[in-house]
Amino acid sequence: MVRVPGDGWKRRLAVLALDRVEPLMYRKALLPPFSMRRFIGEARWDVGGSDFRNNGRHFAEKLHDAGLDACSRVLDIGSGCGRLAIPLTELLSAQGSYTGLELSPPLVQWCSEHLTPRYPNFRFVQCDLKNPLYNPAGAGDARTYTFPFQDGAFDLIVATSVFTHLLPEIALRYLHECARVLASGGRLFATFYFIDQTVQSRESSLRFEHAFGENARVDDLARPEAGIGFRLEWVLQQADKANLRLDPPVRFGTWSGRKDGYSGQDVLILHKKR
């Protein structure tokens, strides 16, 4: 069982029970354990995984807006427990490829054991970085991390609900690394919380009440990685410095109370300048 930060013993017990019972109920489903789905932020007690599957399909379809085709070479940063990888097995052909880069060893292990044997063009790489929430036992420093891939190796990079957990210095480093490993003209599809948006929704538990440096805000100063929002202009300026330019428009999400959001979080599609 993967331990979810912040869960008390009663929740841990319930999650443990579901980790044991669910595989008996859904024998044939390609579904990661309940605790892993909670770990990557599936908030509801979604027994059977319909939210997990719907959210994965939602993002996989959106990737067509960033040029996904059957032959794309896709890098998924913070690939979690395969929420995107699973639907991409139906959209990528054997000529395409998928690489997941993820901090948490058990999630990488689950994906490697359950997906790679069936889809050999899908591989999962663990990055041994320290993160107080996602990988407390890790060793490396994400602020200086070099992705273990060659320059120009990917056509499309995806980061769903990942920059929303990266401290500003790490986000900068990751923008530069994304640009390096993207092929010329390739695209980055990344989600954010842009704090310039007025939060109107009462449903959203995010308020970003505390400033975190000049360009970011968080809800919990003790655990900034739990959810971090950036100023849109700052992200676009830093992306530009990294050689990544916006494919307009900025695709605002529903998290801030918009009714007509593109997705839950705000989305940028950036292309690597030629």
Q: Name the strands in the sheet holding 228-230, side by side, starting at the edge strand that comes first in the sequence.
A: 210-212, 216-218, 228-230
User: What's the token pair of residue 14?
Assistant: 């319930």
In whole angstroms, the minimum distance from the beta carbon of 161 to ligand SAM comes to 4
Residue 97 or 131: which CB sits closer to ligand SAM? 131
* Residues found near ligand SAM in the complex (CB under 6 A): 40-41, 77-80, 83-84, 101-104, 107, 127, 129, 131, 134, 142, 160-162, 165-166, 170
Q: For residue 220, give the nearest of 230, 231, 234, 206 by alpha carbon.
A: 206
Enter the tokens of residue 138.
Answer: 């890790």
Q: How far is the CB of 274 from ligand SAM (least distance, A)?
A: 27
Whichever of 5 and 185 has its CB closer to ligand SAM, that residue is 5
Question: In angstroms, what is the minimal distance from the CB of 135 to ligand SAM?
Answer: 6
Q: Quick one: 125 or 259, whose CB is closer to ligand SAM?
A: 125
Q: Which is nearer to ligand SAM, 107 or 232 (CB)?
A: 107
Q: In whole angstroms, how close is the CB of 36 to ligand SAM at the nearest point?
A: 9
Give 24 or 109: the residue with its C-beta nearer to ligand SAM.
Answer: 109
Instruction: Give the nearest distance from C-beta 173 to ligand SAM in angstroms.
Output: 9
Q: Whole-number minimum distance, CB 49 to ligand SAM, in Å?
A: 12
Give the integer Cα–Cα distance in Å for 208 and 229.
7
C-alpha span between 40 and 233 (Å, rounded): 27
Nearer to ligand SAM, 12 or 57 (CB): 57
Structure tokens at 40: 């990557």
Type of residue at 24? L
- The dihedral of CA 193, 168, 180, 140: what is its sign? negative
Buried b vs exposed e over 116-135: b needs ≥16 C-beta within 10 Å?
A: beebebbbbebbebebebbb
Closest CB 71 distance from ligand SAM, rounded Å: 22
Closest residue to ligand SAM in the complex (CB) = 78
Which two three-digit tokens encode residue 188? Answer: 């980055």
Q: How far lies 231's CA from each of 124, 196, 239, in Å?
A: 31, 6, 12
Tell the smallest beta-carbon distance from residue 70 to ligand SAM (Å). Answer: 21
How far apart, in whole angstroms, are the C-alpha atoms of residue 174 and residue 214? 19
Task: Single out the residue of 151, 154, 152 nearest to residue 123, CA to CA.
Answer: 154
Q: State which residue, 147 or 252, has the beta carbon closest to ligand SAM.
A: 147
Task: Kindly tell me which of 11 and 273 has the beta carbon lying closer to ligand SAM.
Answer: 11
Do the beta carbons of residue 221 and residue 207 sit within 8 Å?
no
Q: Write phi, then psi, for 245 (nearest 5 degrees).
A: -120, 145
